[in-house]
Structure 1
C-alpha cells in the first residue's frame, strides 16, 4: 500500500498512516522533508538515548557489542533523518554510513518495547530495504533467503546440496564466497518427515476427553521443514488437555501449486524488504485464519517471529480488518497455555522434569512480553527449578548469523551473555523457543536446546506412548554428527 501523502521522491511500500499525526505541531519533532508518514515514524524518536543504556534490556544488540552510537536506535534515526532531509535525486539512502548502520540492525524488536517512543526500527528497516533495492540490484543470497518457504516446498532437492555443503570443507570454500555465507556454521537441513493432521482434528479425540475448545495450530516454515517434532509435541500437550486440534494448512489436492503450498506469515520476505511478496503471503494466511476464528478456533503458533509478524508487522501491510481479526485471535504456544491455565481450562497431569531448566528467550518473545507466559507455564511443572538467561540477541537473528560479513558480529553477540551462561549451566536442560536461537546454541555450545512444547510434552504421563512414531529430528542429529566430524574450526570472514 502506498502512503497517500508521500513525497514524489519516495514511493513507500508499507502503510505508515498510523503515524499521520505524529509530531504535528511539535517544533522539536524535526520531521524530515521527504518520506511522508514514514518520516514521521522515524521522527517519533525523542533522542532520550535509552537505546544506549547499560543494563538488562534487549536493544540494541549491535550497539552493545560495539559502543558505536550509529548502531543504536537513536543513531539510526539520526542517519535516516539526514537522508530524508536531502533531495532523493541524490540517492542519500545509499550513503555508506547509513547502509552499514541499517545492515547491522538485527530486527530484534527490542526498541518497539523498550524505547519510550516505541520506535519500530525493524519495520523501518524493512521499508528502508525496499527503498534501497529500488535503487540497486538485489543479491541472489537475499532472494534465496527470502524465498525459503517456496523453494523448500517446490524444490526440496536443494536440501541435498545444502547437506553436501555442510559436510564438505572443499565445497564450503567454493560456495561460501560466491554466496556470502558464514563458513563457520552449518545451514539448517530438512528433518525428513512430515506433520500429520492430529487425531482430534475431526472431533474424535485421542482419549475421549475433548472439552469443546478448538485450536488451529499454525506450523511455521522453520518448524515444518526443520523441526516437525516440536509441532508433534505441541499437539500432544494440547490434546492431552482436551483441545480439539487441527493443523492450519491448505486442503490437499489444491487446484494449483500455490493453493497447496503451506501457509507462511511472510517473515522471510519482509526481512529482506520484499514487501509485495510479504503482503501476498500474509494475506493468504489471514484469509485462512478468519473463517476459523468465526468458527470458534484460537490460532496458536510456535515461532515467536512468525506470530509477531502476524500480530504486529502484518498491520503495516494494508490488509484491513481481517488482519486485525487474525491478530487478536493469534497466540504463541506459551501465551495460550498461560491464558488457559489462568482461566482454569487447562487440565494437564504433569510429572517433574528430569532436571532443572535454563531458559533463553527469543527477542520477539521479549518484545511482546511472552516471557511472563513462559514463567507461568514452567510453574505448572511440579518440583521444578528454572532460571532465565539475562541476555540480548543470541546473534543468529534469522539469516544474520549465516552471512559471512556478519559472522564476527553474530559470535560477539552470543559471547556477551548467552554463551557464558550456557557454559555455566551444569546439568540444566536448556529451553529456547526461537528456531534461530536453537541454531546458534547448537553452533557454539554442546547444549541440546528444546522448545517449551517438548519439555511439557515430556512431562505428560503417557507421552512415550503418544510419540512412539515421533523420532528425534533427523536434521538436528545430522548437524551434530557433522560438527563432530569436522577436524578444526573454520576461520570466519569479517
Structure 2
C-alpha cells in the first residue's frame, strides 16, 4: 500500500508483541490501526468528555472508534488488497467519523482515528457527485480568496431556496443548512505595516479567520501591541507570496497532496520567524493546531520546529502571564460566561490555557460546557447525508445548555462552532480576542 500520510512514527508499534493483532495489509498504517486494544472506553455513553459524538448519537457495534478498528482490521486482512476500499460496512462506519480527535484524547493508546479517516479518504478517492463536492470543499478557502465575487454566490444561495435545492442536487450540500458567508471586504493588517516595538511575535492569519472573522486580526494585533509586543502579521496574501494557508480544508477532505503543498508553502513563509525563534500565534484552533499535529504526517522534518513555536493566542498569553512577562488587567464582566471549546482544542489539552486566562477576569462566573462535537465538524454538518446527524449531535448537550442560559454571555473558540450555534439558537457567540479586547479597554 502506498501511504498518503507519513505513518513512520508507528514503525515500531507492536514489534515483538504476539498479541498486537496487526493487519496483513497496510504496513505502518496498519500498525496505527492496531494501537486499539478494544478496552471499550469509546463505547461508554456519558454526557461529558469529547469521546466519539457519532457513537453517542447512534450506539452500535460499527459506530465507535473501536468498531471502526474492528472493521478496518477485517478488511485489511482480506486476500483482495482492494477489498478494504470497497467494503460497504466499513465505508458507512468511516463516513460517520467527524474527525473530532476525541479518541486521540481519551483513548488509553491515543488512537488517531481522525488521521486514519483521512488516509482512508485519500485512498478511496471520490466518485461522481461526491468527487465534485470534495474538490469544491477542499479548495473553497483558496477560491474565495482568489475570486472574492464567489462570496456573492453563497449569499444568493442562502437567500434563495431554489439555489439551495440545486446545490443539494448537484453537489450534495444540504439545502436546509445556512452556509457561513465570507465578509464582503477584507480589512487585514498587512505585513508591510510597522510591527511596533517590543518583543517580536508573528500573528499568523489563517484563511478561515481572514475570510469569515477578519475583525479578530485587528483586535489581536492591537491587544498584543498594547501588551508590549512587536507584532508581525502573516496573512493569506502577505508580501506577494500568493495564497498562504495550512491546508486544513483540503486535509479534511482527504486531499492530502494539496494539503501538503499548501502547508509546505506556509512553512516556507514561516521559516524566517522559526529561525529567529519568534512565537507563532494563531486564532483559529483547527488551523493553528494543524501546525502542531497534522504537520507530523504531512511535513515530518519541519514538524518539531512548528510544534515548539505554534501557539493559540490563549496559550501564548497564559504562558506569558505565568512567566511574569506581562500583566493583563481586565475589567469585570457583568454577566456569567458560558464557554464552548473547539474539539481539537480539547483534544490537544489547550483548554487549560483558556481556563487560566479567563481567571484574569475579576469575579467571573464561568461555566465550560461539557459537550462533544457541535456537529458542524468543518464541512461535515453541511453535507446532505450528514447534516441531520450533525444537528442532532449539537442538540444532545450543547444547544440545550445554551438555551437554558439566556442570562449568560457565550464564548466559542471555533469558527464552525460559532456558525452552528448561531444557526440553531440565533445567538452570536463572542470570540476570545473580542472578549479580551473589550475588557482590556475597560468597557462592558
Q: For this structure pair, what is the TM-score category when the shorter chain's length is used for normalisation? A: over 0.9
Which has the higher mean CA deviation after the structures are superposed, 348-357 or 155-164?
Answer: 348-357
Q: Tell me, in whole angstroms, the C-alpha distance in 1 between the residues paired with 2:175 and 2:406.
A: 30
Q: Does 1:165 align with 2:157?
A: yes
Q: Deviations over 1:72-100 (max 9, x none)?
A: 11001011111111134443322111011
Q: Deviations over 1:359-418 (max 9, x none)?
A: 011101101111111111111112321111110001000001111111211111001100
Contact persistence 2:202–2:232 (CA under 8 A): yes
Contact persistence 1:201–1:244 (CA under 8 A): no
Deviation at 1:252, TM superposition (A): 5.3
Unaligned stretches of 5+ residues in structure 2: none
Q: 1:274 to 1:427 in 2, by over 3 A?
A: same
**1:459 counterpart SS class:** helix
Q: Tell me, in whole angstroms, the C-alpha distance in 2 between the residues paired with 1:371 and 1:450.
A: 16
**2:322 counterpart SS class:** helix
Partner of 2:58: 66
Q: Tell me, in whole angstroms, the C-alpha distance in 2 between the residues paired with 1:153 and 1:116.
A: 41
- Superposition RMSD in Å: 2.0
Contact persistence 1:180–1:404 (CA under 8 A): yes
Q: Deviations over 1:275-322 (max 9, x none)?
A: 1111111111112223112223210111111112110111111441x2
1:409 alignment partner, one of 389, 393, 402: 389
Q: 1:90 to 1:382 in 2, by over 3 A?
A: closer
Which has the higher mean CA deviation after the structures are superposed, 158-167 or 180-189?
Answer: 180-189
Q: Deviations over 1:150-180 (max 9, x none)?
A: 1012222211111111001222222222211
Counting matched residue pairs gives: 443
1:371 alignment partner, one of 351, 354, 363: 351
Q: 1:378 to 1:111 in 2, by over 3 A?
A: same
Contact persistence 2:201–2:280 (CA under 8 A): yes
Partner of 1:470: none
Q: Tell me, in whole angstroms, the C-alpha distance in 1 between the residues paired with 2:59 and 2:329.
A: 49
Q: Tell me, in whole angstroms, the C-alpha distance in 1 between the residues paired with 2:320 and 2:156.
A: 45
Listed as ranges, the matches of 1:223-238 within 5 Å are 223-238=209-224
Unaligned stretches of 5+ residues in structure 1: 1-9, 205-209, 465-494
Partner of 2:258: 277
Q: Tell me, in whole angstroms, the C-alpha distance in 2 between the residues paired with 1:373 and 1:184.
A: 37
Q: Tell me, in whole angstroms, the C-alpha distance in 2 between the residues paired with 1:140 and 1:203.
A: 42
Q: Tell me, in whole angstroms, the C-alpha distance in 2 between the residues paired with 1:217 and 1:252.
A: 12
Contact persistence 1:242–1:347 (CA under 8 A): no
Q: Tell me, in whole angstroms, the C-alpha distance in 2 between the residues paired with 1:113 and 1:415.
A: 23
Q: Tell me, in whole angstroms, the C-alpha distance in 2 between the residues paired with 1:214 and 1:353.
A: 31
- TM-score of the superposed pair, with normalisation by structure 2: 0.95
Partner of 1:51: 42
Q: Does 1:26 align with 2:17?
A: yes
Q: Which runs of 4+ in 1 moved over 4 A?
A: 134-138, 198-201, 250-253
**1:215 counterpart SS class:** strand
Q: Tell me, in whole angstroms, the C-alpha distance in 2 between the residues paired with 1:452 and 1:253.
A: 28
Partner of 2:332: 352
Q: Does 1:110 align with 2:92?
A: no
**1:404 counterpart SS class:** coil
2:174 alignment partner, one of 169, 182, 189: 182
2:297 alignment partner, one of 312, 316, 325: 316
Deviation at 1:137, TM superposition (A): 8.5
2:202 alignment partner, one of 216, 241, 245: 216
Q: Tell me, in whole angstroms, the C-alpha distance in 1 between the residues paired with 2:101 and 2:372.
A: 11
